[in-house]
Structure 1
Amino acid sequence: MTGAVALRLVSLSLLLTSGCALLRHKPAPPPPKPVVEVIEDKVPVAWREVAKPADQERLDHLRDAWTSGLGAAARFKTAISAEGPLLDPAAALPRAAPSPGAYLCRVIKLGARPALESFKPFNCFVDAEGELLTMVKSNGTLRPAGRLWTDSDTRMIFLGGLAEPGQKPAPYSDDDAHNVAGVLERVAAFRWRLAVPYPRGGGTLDVYELSPLIPATPVPARP
């Protein structure tokens, strides 16, 4: 082997050795960044985005309606006292949302003629529709039906329509003449009220009482 050939072989060996060393010490590529899918929370629509200005005005003056209605009915002190927390403006309790189901309901009108009038009970139903609850009065002369929006832990806002005899329940709409707006509150165990200030049927305040309609449990016969 000539000297020139030997020199080339040594140079090639040194080049391969240094190349292997570079390959061995080359840093590993960084791991790929994790891909995180961000899903925005669905924000419920606030009731003020749905309520008409006239109904917002009525609801904002609910306290005035209570004061005026109870003042007009002051001579019915015994009847008002007998209703307990139902006619107490400050009786709202936490967890206002009622459970879906059938309810026995009745209406007490304040501020009309007479200044306090209680009507016979009727049937109404609470149901779930997506993220909202719905409430409908199923019989009687005037039948409100609509949706309930959470406003705070102690109250919900009812926005609906009023159906007359022979009509289907009317939805809340631009037809202000048939709209109904009220505040739903829990006032005792298994007892709710829907207060409708300045109702279109006259008077100062309509108070709907809601009590769960629980089927009677048959008592087993004694042996």
Structure 2
Amino acid sequence: MVSAVLSSFVARTSPAMRRACAPLALVLALGACATPRYFSEEAPPPPPPAPDMAMVLKDWRGVITPADRDRYGRRAEAWSHALEQARRQPGSGDLFALGDLINPAKVLADPQPPTGNYRCRTVKLGSQGGDEGLGYVVYGWFGCRIDRTPEGLRLSKLTGSQRPEGLLYPEDGRHMVFLGGMALASEHVAPAYGAQEGRNLVGMVERIGDERWRLVLPWPRNESNLDILELVPAR
């Protein structure tokens, strides 16, 4: 249509006028050949997928309290002191049958445990009472579970008189950081992390074998100097 109008216009003008208007005619002709963007047959690229909210986590460093940051930073000291007491002082259970569970150097890649039900047991190493207390206590098996929640992976000990519960935060290829609270006796749920300072728990989840993990809790509030929660999938 634009070409027809231009042809009619050119036919009615003098040669001098045609020479003067030639640049304008060229611009209009080129514009008429261009396809407007809003008539393009190409569909716009799809928007990026929404993030999986179950995997969107805060960095644990922005959540942890100063006191727990100190406990976490001294975890190597807790291992050393607790193991020295455990090997020297009498205890309850078979310490030497625990194997890699109480070897701080035994840490494998891929620390994230899958969701589901677990058998779990607590091992307490060292004594806050010094030489007067038990050097170790190996407890029996209880029930634990790992769930995927909108906040991230949640580890819960389901039975027993002391039941840690909290979130697992990604850290690196060999460790996850645990921040949670402790439920006692007949309490139905553990207090949220930070709600009661005396119940706060800080620790590290590590894989130590095929389908075998541990939660290491340095400097617990009571009794021992290092707690370990062993986790194996329930069958």
Residue equivalent to 1:187: 208
**Does residue 194 of structure 2 align to residue 173 of structure 1?**
yes
Residue equivalent to 2:15: 14
Task: Read off the aligned partner of 1:83 and give its amino acid letter.
Answer: L
Residue equivalent to 2:116: 101
Residue equivalent to 1:133: 153
SS class of match (2:159): coil
Cα offset, 1:166, TM superposition: 2.1
Change (3 A) 1:36 1:105: closer
Q: TM (normalized to structure 1)?
A: 0.80
Cα distance in 2 for partners of 1:40, 1:124 equals 31
**Does residue 91 of structure 2 align to residue 88 of structure 1?**
no
Cα offset, 1:156, TM superposition: 0.7
SS class of match (2:71): helix
Correspondences of 1:46-57 after superposition (within 5 Å): 46-57=59-70
Moved more, 170-179 or 50-59: 170-179
Cα offset, 1:84, TM superposition: 1.5
Which structure has the larger Rg?
Answer: 1
Cα distance in 2 for partners of 1:120, 1:152 equals 31
Moved more, 175-184 or 62-71: 175-184
Residue equivalent to 2:144: 124
SS class of match (2:23): helix
SS class of match (1:91): coil
Q: TM (normalized to structure 2)?
A: 0.76
Give the aligned length: 204
Please identify runs of 4+ aligned residues in structure 1 that moved more than 3 A.
Answer: 27-32, 34-44, 75-81
Gaps of 5+ in 2: 1-11, 38-43, 128-132
Change (3 A) 1:24 1:160: same
Q: 1:205 aligns with which of 226, 229, 233?
A: 226
Cα distance in 2 for partners of 1:92, 1:159 equals 20
SS class of match (2:185): coil
SS class of match (1:96): coil
Task: Read off the aligned partner of 1:25 and give its amino acid letter.
Answer: L
Residue equivalent to 1:71: 84
Cα offset, 1:36, TM superposition: 11
Give 1 or 2: higher helix fraction.
2
